[in-house]
């Protein structure tokens, strides 16, 4: 089954002939970039990474290293989600505005370099989640070969491991804005506070972590097996996050959940 899905993916890419990959350095886009290069050759693949306020510096540095490791042509573009009309209001269509703007900037790069296709790392799992960015991709003619091949996250991790990609067990990541409760205005100060807080928690050894922000409340999400560690270290953690600007520090007893802020949309 997995072999058949991989063959379908390569067939989709072969049919395209050349691709510009919207590359974040995450599990999915890294796998897509690697398979695209293996299938089409590095001369027919260009990775483009957006450097913005919602993208941590650590992730940008890792994306650069991964592109070198894979042997990809790589271009960094400067973007600003906070300058996109409608984005900072942080309504349920926030991701639509972001992806619409991103693809608007990547498509001219595609044309300038003689390419015909833009692809991104949407996967089969995303079809069951609230993903307004997918609408922007459809409107712009941007394709998701991983989703078209019906590849799920765990399958991508397994194939990445077999290919020797260092991202095979990388924790899931989403833009920093996804940590801010819907309806709460997105600001550079809040994004910086989140970035600093998550970087600190990761420096303690936590791998999968989110600092969800509800005004001046930090709601920490970690895997259930890591909760005891957080509680044991509650004092230095609360001290540091208060230093970053939070007034109240909480631990979510449900644990890490991808897209947990979307629960508010169905209430």
Catalytic residues: 175
Tell me the C-alpha distance between 36 and 17, whole Å. 10
Tell me the C-alpha distance between 96 and 227, whole Å. 33
Burial string for 6-30 (b: 16+ CB within 10 Å, else e) reads: beebbebbeebebbbbbbbbbbbbb
Return the SS3 of 145: helix
Q: By the 8 A CB rule, do 264 and 181 touch?
A: yes
- Residue that is written with structure tokens 């015909």 in the block: 116
- In 166-263, which residue ranges form alpha helices assigned H by DSSP? 188-203, 227-232, 234-243
């Amino acid at each position: 089954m997995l072999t058949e899905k991989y063959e379908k993916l390569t067939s989709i890419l072969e049919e395209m002939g050349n691709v510009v990959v919207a590359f974040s350095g995450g599990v999915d886009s890294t796998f897509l970039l690697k398979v695209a290069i293996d299938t089409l050759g590095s001369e027919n693949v260009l990775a483009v990474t957006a450097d913005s306020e919602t993208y941590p510096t650590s992730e940008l540095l890792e994306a650069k290293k991964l592109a070198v490791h894979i042997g990809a042509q790589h271009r960094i573009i400067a973007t600003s989600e906070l300058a996109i009309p409608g984005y900072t209001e942080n309504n349920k269509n926030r991701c639509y505005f972001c992806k619409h703007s991103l693809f608007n900037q990547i498509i001219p790069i595609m044309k300038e370099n003689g390419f015909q296709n833009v692809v991104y790392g949407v996967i089969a799992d995303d079809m069951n989640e609230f993903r307004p960015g997918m609408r922007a991709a459809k409107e712009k003619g941007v394709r998701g070969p991983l989703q078209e091949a019906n590849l799920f996250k765990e399958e991508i991790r397994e194939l990445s491991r077999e290919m020797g990609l260092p991202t095979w067990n990388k924790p899931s990541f989403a833009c920093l804005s996804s940590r801010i409760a819907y309806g709460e205005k997105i600001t550079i100060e809040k994004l910086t506070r989140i970035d600093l807080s998550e970087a600190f928690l990761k420096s303690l050894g936590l791998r999968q972590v989110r600092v969800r922000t509800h005004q001046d409340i930090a709601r920490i999400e970690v895997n259930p097996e890591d909760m005891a560690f957080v509680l044991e270290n509650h004092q230095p953690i609360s001290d540091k996050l208060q230093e970053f600007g939070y007034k109240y520090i909480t631990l979510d007893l449900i644990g890490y959940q991808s897209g947990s802020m979307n629960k508010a949309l169905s209430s």
